Amino acid sequence: MNDRNLWCDALPDASASLETVLAAWHAATLRLEQTHQALREEVHRLTDELEAKNRELARKDRLADLGRMAAHVAHEVRNNLVPVTLYLSLLRRRIAADQESLAVLDKIELGFTALDATVNDLLQFTSDRDPQLQAFLLRGLVDEIFVSLAPQMAAQSIEPRNAVPARQQITADRHMLRRALLNLILNALEAMPRGGSITVDASTGPQGIDVRVGDSGTGLSADTLQRAFEPFFTTKSAGTGLGLAIVYRVAEAHGGSVSAVNRPEGGAVFTIQFPQPALEAAA
């Protein structure tokens, strides 16, 4: 009788212990499932990141090969342009009194001028020099570019707007940044043949300095947004397709980036970002 009572009294304790074990097992199983899910998501993220890095590496290898080829072609073309330009100058003197021949010669020289511009784009694209960093006021550089393009802007009824703060200073290669901004502004001009406005502004944030060039044109298609900075990609009937690729190279040389988006009110805006650490190191 006493043994039976002891056994019955022990049943609730055994049941409670089993419930505790099962609860612990369930909790451990849930934690294991959560850990497994977190690991699977991390593996997926790292796989995507590795694929992106591999694509970027392959892209850089292709660009390096393309750059070497383009540099060779550009130098060969330029070497042959020099004597041809000299001969055209001599020919102009000989036919100075022949207006019809001079008109034909003018068209030939326009063709060589366009070819020289293409060579310059190729040389800019293949340039691999390190930026010569210096601190300067950005607003003055933008004014300088707008002044140089004033006749073209007036002819197209384009309103230039320099919204860069008067005391906004930037540390960068002035020549390279001038080229990048000039290319972005020229790109905007071509997007607005019937007039509009171009606005350049800048701001300093936690990541560095953002320099923006916006226009009031028709904006960019989805395909153009995706491929805008690819070398030799262009939607124009004439052009090298190197203008925006040069902008990308300038941003990359400074350790920064460049992006393009369409504006809700119409047109597009391009942003060159200069990271703050790079600026601090250069200061």
pLDDT per residue over 79-117, tens digit each?
A: 777 788 888 888 888 888 888 888 888 888 877 776 776
Torsional sign, CA 223, 228, 233, 235: positive
Task: Give the pLDDT score at 191.
Answer: 85
Same domain, 107 and 26: yes
Task: Give the pLDDT score at 281.
Answer: 44
Place of tokens 């491929």: 227
Model confidence at 202, in pLDDT bands (50, 70, 90)?
very high
Same domain, 117 and 171: no
- CA-to-CA distance for 22 and 8, rounded, in angstroms? 22
Average pLDDT rounded to a whole number, residues 137-151: 93
Mutual angle of helices 99-126 and 2-94, in 10-degree steps:
150
Same domain, 105 and 192: no
Percent of the chain with pLDDT over 90: 25
Average pLDDT rounded to a whole number, residues 187-198: 89
How many domains, the chain?
2
Same domain, 57 and 152: no
3-state secondary structure of 77: helix
Same domain, 142 and 275: yes
Same domain, 124 and 139: no
Same domain, 273 and 149: yes
Count CB-CB contacts under 10 A for residue 158: 23
Non-local CB neighbours of 118 within 8 Å, separated by 6+ positions: 240
Same domain, 120 and 192: no
Task: Give the pLDDT score at 10.
Answer: 53
* Residue 216 pLDDT greater than 70, yes or no: yes
Same domain, 185 and 110: no
Range of 35-44, 77-86, 270-279 with top mean pLDDT: 35-44
Q: What are phi and psi of 131, to 5 degrees?
A: -60, 140
* Residue 282 pLDDT greater than 50, yes or no: no
Same domain, 89 and 139: no
- CA-to-CA distance for 127 and 122, rounded, in angstroms? 8
Model confidence at 277, in pLDDT bands (50, 70, 90)?
low
Average pLDDT rounded to a whole number, residues 42-51: 84
Same domain, 84 and 142: no
Average pLDDT rounded to a whole number, residues 234-248: 76
Q: Which of 78, 108, 128 is the last residue of a domain?
A: 128
Sheet containing 158-162: order of strands: 158-162, 196-205, 208-215, 268-275, 257-262
- Mean pLDDT score of the chain: 81
State the Cα angle at 198 between 197 and 202, rounded to 5°: 140
Closest CA to 282 of 256, 257, 259, 246: 256
Task: Give the pLDDT score at 200.
Answer: 97
Same domain, 78 and 167: no
Model confidence at 261, in pLDDT bands (50, 70, 90)?
very high
| End-to-end CA, the chain | 93
Q: Which of 128, 146, 180 is the last residue of a domain?
A: 128
Tell me the whole-structure pTM to 2 decimals.
Answer: 0.62
Torsional sign, CA 193, 186, 123, 113: positive
230: domain CATH number?
3.30.565.10
- CA-to-CA distance for 121 and 11, rounded, in angstroms? 89
Closest CA to 203 of 212, 194, 190, 195: 212
Model confidence at 239, in pLDDT bands (50, 70, 90)?
low
Model confidence at 119, in pLDDT bands (50, 70, 90)?
confident
Average pLDDT rounded to a whole number, residues 34-49: 85
Residue 242, domain extent: 134-282
Cβ atoms 138, 167 nearer than 8 A:
no
